[in-house]
Structure 1
Amino acid sequence: MNRPPKRLLGRRELVDFPAFALGGVEAKVDTGAYTSAIHCTNIHLETDAQGRPVLVVNLLDPGHEGADGRSLTFPDFVLRDIRSSNGEVQERYVIRAVVQLYGEHFEAEFSLSDRSDMKYPVLLGRSLLREGRFVVDVGRRNLSYKTQARAAARRARS
């Protein structure tokens, strides 16, 4: 069985979230973290018209390009214990979301937490990186976006 070649990621990447209409979000590639994470504020539960709980959040900070302050609603979510980088276990909501790298869509689990004190609003963890998809070169950055930009420039010249 032939596997597709592994793609190279840098220690930092710019990622897109097509379902959220967000592009060029700075992400730290973290092979020590299992679950990916995305910065959210105002995380709370509400009840939909059928009486079911839905998760409501504000994604990213208003100052981030593309973030418009609107609330996003997630009917499918779980509450899970997540171990933070300092070893502390926290209960966090986890959703499935599509992230775009190298022009391809990859579905992954993202824990939702306030990362305002972190340098990067998104963390890409091992569960996204595994399955032979990617190799990380810690000396490089934004390889996915650079590859996409070169491909777009070639198409424009054709």
Structure 2
Amino acid sequence: MFKKIVISAVLCLLSMSVFASNKTTIVGQVEMMTVAKSGLMFQARMDTGAVNTSLHAVDLKIIGGTSKKMKNNIGKVIEFTTENEKGEKQRMQAEIVSTSSVKNSQGTETRYMVKLDVGFVGKQHNVHVNLRDRSHMNYKLLIGRNFLRRGYVVDVSHKKLIGPIADLSVKQTGLMFNTRIDTGAVENSLHAVNIHVEKENKTDMGNNIGKMITFTTENEKGEKVEVRTKVRGTSLIRNAQGTEARYMVRLSVGEPGKEFLVDVNLKDRSKMGYKLLIGRNWLQGHYLVDVSKKH
């Protein structure tokens, strides 16, 4: 009995170790992906309902002649034209490895299957891909389960992974910040000094909502810029020093080119390691935090 318990415990630990080592990557419903040798980027749709990956292909031509029976063309090279959502086209060649019968609303359709390197730039997987005219479909590349089972989890809420530290842009400043991601903070906080509110009511900060505010911010490289915007609101922050009232403004914050508007409180962060702190009001609905992710 004791021997069985020990064996069970060992097996449990081994399974936990295997699970921990097989780290998954979270992807959204749509991701920018490439197909090797095409030189094209596709807005790829993740489809957990599809067995195989599918690529838009037209003007199919079997090199060396076509047999009437599709299965007799297995092993031959097929040439085809693919196209991404921008209308960029590329003529490609690949070896036919099999055929695939797919059932849809129009009935049963047989397609050629080829092997292609598909995935993210720098991280692709060699998978079976069926070739189909997807001209009338929104996505020219569909990612099926044969790709996703290589360690991917689909997050339909479009959340992305971010580490505890990230390089983020505040669009209105034109600066990049080495940013601390803090799930313990409710709000975002940006370094700000020389704060000036036009016709400021110094008795009640709430009476300044809607007025123009100017302030100077600075990133970790010492790059400074003056920002002018509207007071969005006020925030009462509790910390080790007590309670502090801060002005709130709305700024575009995020990865370069992917910024989105969010409320940010203004604070003199001169003595802090990070001049921009990201809280839950930026993360919620957009990002999952992986503390093991390296900067």
Report the TM-score, using the length of structure 1 for normalisation: 0.73
User: Quick check: 1:33–1:125 contact (8 Å CA) kept in 2?
Assistant: yes
Which residue, 55, 72, 75 being the options, matches 2:227? 72
Alpha-carbon shift at residue 122 of structure 1 (Å): 0.5
Mapped pair 1:37 → 2:189: yes
In the superposition, relative to structure 1, how do residues 8 and 62 fare at CA in structure 2: closer, same or farther (>3 Å)? closer
- Decide whether the 8 Å contact of 1:45 with 1:54 is kept in 2: yes
How far apart are residue 72 of structure 1 and its match? 1.7
Q: 1:61 to 1:130 in 2, by over 3 A?
A: closer
Structure with the greater alpha carbon radius of gyration:
2
State the secondary structure of the residue aligned to 1:141: coil
**Which runs of 4 or more aligned residues in structure 1 lie more than 4 Å from their structure 2 counterparts after TM superposition?**
none
Equivalent in the alignment of 1:120: 274
Residue 73 of structure 1: SS of its match in structure 2?
Answer: strand
Secondary structure (helix, strand or coil) at the match of 2:293 reads: strand
Distance across 1 between alignment mates of 2:292 and 2:241: 26
Deviation of residue 108 (structure 1)? 1.2
Q: Matches of residues 85-100 of structure 1 in structure 2 within 5 Å?
A: 86=240, 88-100=242-254
The counterpart of 2:264, out of the listed 110, 135, 146, is 110
User: How far off is 1:137 after superposition?
Assistant: 1.2
Question: How many pairs align?
Answer: 132
Whether the 8 Å contact between 2:191 and 2:268 is mirrored in structure 1 is yes
Q: Which letter maps to 1:73?
A: R
Q: What is the deviation of 1:6?
A: 2.0
Question: Is the 8 Å Cα contact of residues 13 and 141 (structure 1) preserved in structure 2?
Answer: no
Contact 2:195 2:214 in 1 (8 A): yes
**Offset at residue 87 of structure 1 (A):** 6.7
The question of whether the paired residues in 2 share the 8 Å contact of 1:94 and 1:109 is answered with yes
Greater length-normalized contact order (CA 8 Å, ≥ 6 residues apart): 1
TM-score normalized by the length of structure 2? 0.41
> Contact 1:55/1:77 (CA < 8 Å) preserved in 2?
no
Q: 1:38-89 CA distances to partner (integer Å, 9 max, x unpaired)?
A: 0011112124xxxx84212101269523x24xx32222332221223x2722
| Structure 2 unmatched ranges of 5 or more | 1-28, 30-155, 200-209
Write the distance in 1 (CA, Å) between the matches of 2:256 and 2:171: 13
Q: Which residue of 1 aligns with 2:294?
A: 141
DSSP-derived class of the 2:198 partner: strand
| Amino-acid identity (%) | 27
